[in-house]
């Protein structure tokens, strides 16, 4: 895993636009350009396979976008990695409309904390 600039992360994050929960208000381009947004890429076997964008919002680490294609459970691995980034913060949160992701995240301790235009906000308290 390494931190990268927005331009390097965007191609890996492109699938995120298909699962928009903002009804067009946000896109991968706008999320990677948000103030304080930090982009990361996961590398496997010498190639970039996944990316995610984090933003600190008060005492919370908010996942603005995440996507990838790997041969392991990216939800389990990715959320553990993101929780490590959030050490010292109160929680990690993200929004999604993907039923499978909601189910997996709930098994990992995330709870539905609210609703958005086209999905839900999931949050895990860390402290």
| pLDDT value at residue 98 | 92
Is 0.85 surpassed by the pTM of this model? yes
For 37, residues 6+ apart whose C-beta sits below 8 A from its C-beta are 6, 31, 53, 54, 55, 64
Domain 2-125 top-level CATH class: alpha beta
Among 59, 127, 60, 68, which Cα is nearest to 94's?
60
Give 69-112 pLDDT, tens digit per residue.
888 888 999 999 999 999 999 999 999 999 999 999 999 999 99
Question: What rounded mean pLDDT belongs to the chain?
Answer: 94
**Residue 53 and residue 31: Cα distance in Å, rounded?**
8
Give 39-55 pLDDT, tens digit per residue.
999 999 999 999 999 99
CB-based contact 14:29 (threshold 8 Å): no
Bridge partners of residue 116, in order along the sequence: 119
């Amino acid at each position: 895993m390494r931190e990268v600039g927005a331009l390097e992360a965007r191609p890996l994050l492109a699938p995120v636009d298909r699962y928009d929960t903002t009804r067009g208000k946000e896109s991968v381009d706008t999320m990677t350009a948000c103030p304080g947004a930090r982009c990361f890429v996961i590398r496997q076997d010498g190639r970039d396979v996944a990316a995610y964008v984090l933003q600190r919002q008060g005492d919370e680490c908010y996942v603005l976008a995440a996507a990838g294609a790997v041969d392991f459970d990216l939800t389990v691995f990715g959320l553990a990695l993101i929780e490590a980034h959030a050490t010292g913060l109160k929680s990690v949160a993200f929004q999604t409309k993907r039923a499978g992701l909601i189910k997996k995240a709930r098994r990992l301790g995330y709870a539905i904390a609210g609703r958005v235009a086209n999905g839900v906000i999931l949050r895990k308290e860390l402290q």
